[in-house]
Structure 1
Amino acid sequence: MAELISQLNQRANYDNLTRLLSRQRLIYDIEHAASFNLAILDIDRFKEVNNFLGMNAGDDFLRSTATLLRQFFAHQPYAIYRLNGDEFAIFDSRGDEVEEFEMHIQAFVERFGNREQTVKGETITASISAGIASSRHSSPIVAATTALKYAKLKHTKVATFQEDLPILKEYQQNLKTTRVIRKAITQDWITPHFQPIQDVRTGRVCKYEALMRISDAEGTLYLPAEFLAVSKRSGNYKELSASMIRKSVACFSATELALSINLAIEDIEESDILDTLATLQRQYNVMDRLIFEITEQEGFSSPERIKAFIDQVKRLGARVAIDDFGSGYSNFETLIHLDIDFLKIDGSLIKNILTDPHAEVIVETIVDFARRLGIKTIAEFVSDEAIYRKIASLGVDFAQGYYIGKPAPLINHRINSLDRRT
């Protein structure tokens, strides 16, 4: 029995891989210390070690890091822990020695970052980041972890927790935004707005782009920049997007207008996206009027997957546009192999086209390239008549922007029955 108890204590107090103290032991030590300093350390890009050399090599790297920690702090009264994954902790029960503790942590981070380690015959140069907190904080592990994230965000390697860290305001805003998103889903606050797209040749509005908005009970309107990224990080994007697609299609089902709908890579990777689109087709019979927009960055990050998706939606009768084309490295070669119908020229080029000769040359090149492939072009951010005349002179097919019309709910637009396939 005594041996069993000893084994259980060993498992509870020590990490099996590195033989350092465990996370459970750290929690115990914090609860029983009157005053202390705490540092949480995390190996930068450790996932790359696992992906490059394999899990066994990753374990060797962690054991090597544990050895370095023991050696470096051998003459200090610090306890060393492995928390989980590639996270370690240093605990100093002398809470009054803050500056000395910070100096030692900084020194280790610098030493670690300049040291090469050999794992499985491969030489790896790694760095480490650290966040520091103390017993003054009500949740020291959370505080040290927050400081660690701030150090990584600002590339400072070491940060000490303070109540006014900018990242705390970001966390609070993220929580507030997440609550708005959840209410938008449960209380039906998701409101599609539509921006007109004009045929430059005829001067007629022939299609609209659906743009997601959230309108709360007080009438406050939230733009995508305020909630879209948070919805993806908080796991709420799928529900937002599904509601947006359904509502947009339902709004336009009674018209004969073409409708553009934005799809993120999260939509494309969703296993049931094609079933959802097929259901909408059976319900509304609108697929031949839908245009799915994929941003250049997402479209070219995994071209094989995007190509497969494009081929599938085109078999359903829909059309496809590449959005924000020209915003970064425009991969013309990849574009040749994608069966797309429209290229939307990035707004950063269009809004500067009157003052930046390079922007004009790039737009002219895109238009010529698209024309040769039988692809129609759409200029975004057309904000005034001068820009409109310029893009028309360059041969752009369609214009979108405040000069044509601002995004608004469908009821605010004067909708005419136009050509179904314009």
Structure 2
Amino acid sequence: MPPKSTDRRLLAPQVVEQDALPLASRVPGVLWGLIAVGCGLLLTLWLYRIQARQWQAAQRDAVVAEAEKGVVQLRAKLRSAELLLRSLQTMFLVSGKMDAGQFARVYANLDPRRDFPSLLAVAYVVREPRSDGDHFPTTLVAPLDGNRNLLGLDVVDQPANLQALLQSRDTDRLAVSEPFPLVQDLGTSGRRQGITLRLPDFGPGDSLDSPAVRRQRLRGSIAISFRIADLIRTGLPAPLLNAARISVTDITRRPHVPLFDSHGGAPGAAPSIVHRLPFGGRIWELAVFPTEAAGSPPWPQSVAPAGILASVLLGLLVWSLTDTRRRAVELGRRLGERYQESEERFRTLNELLPALVVLADAADGRIVYANQAARGRLGESLAGSPLASVLEVDEVEVERRLASPETGAVELALHDASGGRFWASVSMSWLMLDGRPQWAMVASDVTEQRALTELLGYQATHDELTGLINRREFERRLQRVTQDVRESPPYAAVLFIDLDQFKLVNDTSGHVAGDQLLLQLATVMRARLGEEHVLARLGGDEFGVILAGLDTPAHAAELAEHLRRGLDGFVFVWETKSYMASISVGAVMIDRPGTPLAELLAAADTACYMAKEQGRNRVHFYSERDEQSALRRGEMEWANRLRWAVQEQRFVLTYQEVRALGAEPSGIHVELLLRFRDEHGDLVSPGAFIPAAERYGLMPLIDRWVIETALANVNRLHPAGAALRMVAINLSGASIDDETLAERIVELLRLHHVAPERVCFEITETVAVRKLADVIRFVTRLRDAGCRVALDDFGVGMSSFSYLKHLPVDILKIDGSFIRDMLSDPISHAMVRAVSDIAHRLGLVVVAEWVTDEAVMASLRDLGVDMAQGFSLHQPERVMFQRD
């Protein structure tokens, strides 16, 4: 039953004789009315002051909230500037040297003014040691327009700029300068303040573990410059700049330096928020000063109009009750008229409300009233209809809600006049009208809000370009599949898909074409797979598929091949060009419950890599018994370990002596051999990790480590010390392609004062034959510097001796496979003789590898071989400086 309510009735005026009134009632009614009005006005004033304070506090809170957003946005802007500078530093580290044309192209590709309109210039200064210390003239500037006067500028002439350069050099971190006048503003009416962000450019070498090493290795410095006020203004949101006065001050050291003030002048009040931003070795303080808000809320939104009206009505009421009978009857009549007018006004206002207002009789649940908004949305013929007819819930649920109405609003689906549905925030309550219990329902349309919430949820789990689910959602669904899979049918499988030659489309036709290709291929794959399987875009040109409900593993292979065939020969047309598209698919069966997600993804990635390596446009299923897959995963693991080994100094050098076979001693010759020290301290031979290093492009990095380490410690390699006559260092084919390596070697020889004739670099015959022109260029530069060059493993890939006439080498090393069999195999013996004779005619020193015993050495002496090495002659030993 509905709760009891007090029956509200209008107070009817009563006729009372003047003599029957008490003495207090004989006071004129106007005076009592004025007293009542005064009390009401005082109460209204008190409430108005409370409301004004709350309104001012809300205004200040809004400014503080906007300031917090501004701090986050400014911090992100500064971080983006640092990432821009990091990318430039990476360019210099990779390229070594860069001319003006390359620098301009790098600037054009990055297009930094797109994200940083306040950026003035990107510049590079080179370190020039002089008698009075290091100087740093500016050699590269982009863009040149407006910045030509920077070329040749010596940073030493700008103390604030120089201090940032030295700080970045000594810390190897981002450094920000103090504000200083900009060169670009020379000749203008006023020179504005600017800052530079700097990062060092170090030359190749060992780890930069001390300021002294960094100072020695500094090659130059990269900088980007801004007008500080413009940088800060573009980094702050416009609403914050409009709502408050913002000031930014550099408080790194006293005196503090003002950087930015959105309004200028002295602050009018204490800041609402003060935030410190550490950035590039400096500390900026951002202060927000609220603008003077009005002392009170807008008049129509305050309690004043209603309070004044209530005070006047109260005065009139008191006056009417205390005045004469005639005046009381007249006032009662007038109040009745005003009540009718107020009721009409209430009904009119209720009709104009945008919310849906519906009243229903509590006895039978039928609608007795609906305002204009409700009739327009729910139907004109609402009167007499059950309340349950407009709600998308059954009558039992409606009765439950009416029996115990919710304290707050709930979201329910309602039926509109056309039979459609929409979502509304619905509140229900009891009320008494004309002595009858009734239900009041007030509803506000929240369909758009719900759609926005659903859209945000969709965007969090789907790829914006293709509309497919993204990597996060894919991994979540895959995790659920791995938990539910059984060891018997139905099976499941995961596919890892990579587009073949996608980079070609991006490079030749641009990223817009690449995006269109991805969209078209995603549509084709979705159509081929159907709705029962999961398709996701994992990023870039990589897609993932979850095949569920498979009868047999062969079913997975059929679906994968069906998908591949659907894209085989797909023609993508963009403008005047056309491309043939295909995919490489790596697949792995999910046949064990609880298989780790990382293990599944790694296996699928490995299988996809194998598919591409086997010629692309094919499907490859991963198998733990597949030797190629196991080898590939092993090499991938080794690649990660080798990168860690370089960073953690886990490589070890050993040496093996090369002995002379003639009567005259030739001094001590050694060949350096590389070992890897694993996590347990055990040494691993190169045969275990060199193939992985070659496949994943790590050999240049390893070769540089060996060269720099050996030349820095050449007199600490062998117990003979400085008496060591020659040390041989092996070079890979990938290092030959590095055009800067030869010059780096010459630079290291000068740096460590190593006589070039003490160093020999060994290159295998297969590399020399395959890259003859590059090898000739490379070894010619080394031999011009005084180094020696050896041709290693000679005979393995030999098809002709003719190229030896054109290859400028000093030493020829016969491959050990011929030496090992020369006493038992006449062919091997004849080849060793032929190689020795031809090498001597060319003036080369001949070295035999894999020498096993004295009998082999005697035969080599008879054939005129000069030197020999092998485990029987000398077991490799760790170099002296690494024995501790």
Does the pair score TM above 0.5? yes
Residues 1:311 and 2:766 aligned together: no
Distance 1:11 1:301 in 2: 51
Letter in 1 for 2:726: A
User: CA deviation digits over 1:303-329, x for unaligned, max 9?
Assistant: 443333222222221111121122225
User: Does the 8 A contact of 1:300 with 1:331 survive in 2?
Assistant: no
**Secondary structure of 2:545's aligned partner:** strand
Letter in 2 for 1:181: A
Distance 2:808 2:476 in 1: 61
Q: Which region of structure 1 is more displaced relative to structure 2, 129-138 or 346-355? A: 129-138
Letter in 2 for 1:319: R
User: CA deviation digits over 1:219-238, x for unaligned, max 9?
Assistant: 74433224445567595724
Partner of 2:716: 250
Distance change in 2, residues 1:153/1:248 (3 Å): farther
Distance 1:40 1:117 in 2: 20
Shift of 1:381: 1.0
Residues 1:222 and 2:684 aligned together: yes
Distance 1:108 1:388 in 2: 64
Shift of 1:143: 1.1
Shift of 1:331: 6.5
Distance change in 2, residues 1:402/1:66 (3 Å): same
Distance 1:361 1:89 in 2: 58
Distance 1:167 1:277 in 2: 38
**Secondary structure of 2:717's aligned partner:** helix
Distance change in 2, residues 1:8/1:180 (3 Å): closer
Written as runs of structure 1 = structure 2, the 5 A alignment for 1:19-418 is: 20-30=468-478, 35=484, 37-43=492-498, 46-47=500-501, 50=503, 55-56=508-509, 59=514, 65-66=521-522, 68-74=524-530, 77-92=532-547, 94=548, 99=553, 102-108=556-562, 111=565, 115-118=568-571, 128-134=584-590, 136-140=593-597, 142-150=599-607, 153=610, 157-160=619-622, 166=630, 170=634, 174=638, 178=642, 181=645, 185=649, 190-200=652-662, 202=664, 207-213=669-675, 220-229=682-691, 233=696, 237=702, 238-239=704-705, 242-251=708-717, 253-265=721-733, 267-268=735-736, 269=738, 271=740, 274-329=743-798, 332-409=801-878
Distance 2:495 2:798 in 1: 39
Distance change in 2, residues 1:35/1:100 (3 Å): farther
Shift of 1:77: 0.8
Distance change in 2, residues 1:125/1:282 (3 Å): closer
Distance 1:340 1:31 in 2: 59
**Secondary structure of 1:90's aligned partner:** strand
Distance 1:390 1:163 in 2: 47
Shift of 1:377: 2.1
**Secondary structure of 1:402's aligned partner:** coil
Which structure carries more relative contact order (alpha carbon 8 Å, separation 6+)? 1
Letter in 2 for 1:243: T
Residues 1:14 and 2:463 aligned together: yes
Q: Which region of structure 1 is more displaced relative to structure 2, 167-176 or 350-359? A: 167-176
Distance 2:662 2:566 in 1: 60
Distance 1:100 1:357 in 2: 54
Distance change in 2, residues 1:180/1:341 (3 Å): same
Letter in 1 for 2:463: Y
Shift of 1:78: 0.9
Distance 1:388 1:109 in 2: 63
Shift of 1:202: 4.5
Letter in 1 for 2:534: A
Distance change in 2, residues 1:51/1:180 (3 Å): closer
Distance 2:600 2:807 in 1: 48
Distance change in 2, residues 1:282/1:160 (3 Å): closer
**Secondary structure of 2:603's aligned partner:** helix
**Secondary structure of 1:278's aligned partner:** helix
User: CA deviation digits over 1:145-184, x for unaligned, max 9?
Assistant: 3244157559694335669984698379749965993697
Distance 1:87 1:318 in 2: 48
Shift of 1:42: 3.6
Distance 1:401 1:132 in 2: 46
Distance 1:13 1:318 in 2: 60
Distance change in 2, residues 1:245/1:158 (3 Å): same
User: Does the 8 A contact of 1:15 with 1:82 survive in 2?
Assistant: no
Distance 1:128 1:217 in 2: 36
Distance 2:816 2:550 in 1: 56
Shift of 1:299: 3.5
Shift of 1:119: 5.5
Distance 2:542 2:678 in 1: 41
User: Does the 8 A contact of 1:259 with 1:291 survive in 2?
Assistant: yes
Q: Which region of structure 1 is more displaced relative to structure 2, 368-377 or 345-354? A: 368-377
Shift of 1:136: 3.2
Letter in 1 for 2:474: L
Distance change in 2, residues 1:337/1:43 (3 Å): farther
Distance 1:172 1:137 in 2: 24
**Secondary structure of 2:658's aligned partner:** strand
Aligned positions, number: 403
Look at both structures and tell me which one has the larger radius of gyration over its CA atoms: 2
Distance 1:179 1:352 in 2: 39
Shift of 1:55: 4.7
Letter in 2 for 1:90: V
User: Does the 8 A contact of 1:40 with 1:144 survive in 2?
Assistant: no
**Secondary structure of 2:723's aligned partner:** coil
Distance 1:69 1:406 in 2: 60
Letter in 1 for 2:584: I
Letter in 1 for 2:847: I
Shift of 1:403: 4.2
**Secondary structure of 1:387's aligned partner:** helix
User: Does the 8 A contact of 2:656 with 2:869 survive in 1?
Assistant: no
**Secondary structure of 1:306's aligned partner:** helix
